[in-house]
Amino acid sequence: MNLEVPKKFSMLVEQAHQVAANVFRPISRKYDKGEHDYPKELDMLASLLDGMNEGGENAAGAVSATGNPSGGSDGIVKNGSNMSTALGAMELCWGDAGFMLALPRQGLGNAAIGAVANEEQLKRFQGIWAAMAITEPGTGSDSAAIRTTAVKDGDDYILNGEKIFVTSGQRADAVVVWATLDKNVGRAAIKSFVVEHGTPGMEIARLEHKLGIKSSDTAAINFIDCRVPAANLLGSPEVDVQKGFAGVMQTFDNTRPLVAAMAVGVSKAALDLTRELLKDHLSKDYATLPINASYIEATLDRLEADWEASRLLTLKAAWMADNRQPNSKEASIAKAKAGRVCNEITLKCVELCGSVGYSEVELLEKWSRDSKILDIFEGTQQIQQLIVARRVLGKSSSELK
């Protein structure tokens, strides 16, 4: 594995960094204070990125509806959309994680479409901005306990249920809703449906007030006899008990490296700013033995080592996806490591910078608040460790709970 950024993505990384520095950072505090205000500055940016993407390059490295692994079975090592997505996310979140989530047409639901949609659906939903609705009241991290139902009625499905914590749930063009076709069958009956805003029976119940990522809207959505075309069921409508939950879990294999990359970006932002604020107290010589280093120097060196580990784990998970290698374990390892490290780094940087870190003079305190969600959504720390344990020990979900 080549640990350097692929040359073909160097321009993408630079462009994403410029967006983070010159678009995201200057308005970051404004929309942190103005929760639920729509960041209209992102509309023009999204239009620019669309034009660049039409030219053949995923300019922001964001999730696209055609984000299937681009590698093949021909034995050629490839770096494709998963790698570009991870690299772009790292740079954009160096600016502001909430804005990356709020970028039009770059929702987590697009990753679900890319993971399980058929060819016809990929074409039909190309360019759509899709949020993803998984979590329900009482289900917590157990996605298999979903109670939202989808009942076949002619050429449609009728959805009933409540979804909470839907990122971009109000602003997106559509929501990818996870629902069960048959509660008695269990997780094998859970399917994903694309429900466009404006569909009768779909209503926004409320917008959540949150600790961080306030520039990104987080909605609770009710589905009451919501009629959805059967053609909007992603992938196969067949319930395969043998395959179980595997089809749906492919979505997480795509999105967990993305969330890990977001955490890597936020962590890097905190480390960079802390080193800048404390530069008069730091030695420029990395060769200094730990026993001779100051507490600040030794702490930052340790945090940087953890950051580098999380970054490499994230790139490995993305690289495996691009080369069609099963990456469920690696995706969870990357998500668990990067999420935990991001929490630790941002809080420690606030501590090291004292009153400057705790105040709103700098963005450090904001990043510490933003970081918490990166350890929660797409599966908590505990869920990731459970998945890794199952993969390592060769146990099923029923054998190891």
- Active-site positions read 378
What is the DSSP-derived secondary structure letter of residue 324? T
Torsion, Cα 26 30 31 35, to 10 degrees, reads 170
C-alpha to C-alpha distance for 362 and 135, rounded to whole angstroms:
33
DSSP label at 194?
Answer: E
Contacts of 99 (CB under 8 A, 6+ apart): 23, 24, 28, 31, 39, 42, 92, 215, 216
Q: Which residues contact 221 (CB under 8 A, 6 or more apart)?
A: 133, 162, 163, 164, 166, 169, 175, 202, 203, 204, 205
Question: Distance between alpha carbon 22 and the CA centroid of its chain, in Å?
Answer: 22
Burial (CB < 10 A; 0-12, 13-18, 19+), residue 42, is buried
Other beta carbons within 10 angstroms of residue 156's beta carbon come to 16
CA atoms within 13 A on the CB side of 69: 21
DSSP-derived letter for residue 188 is: G
User: SS3 breakdown of the chain: % helix, strand, coil, rounded to 5?
Assistant: 50, 15, 35
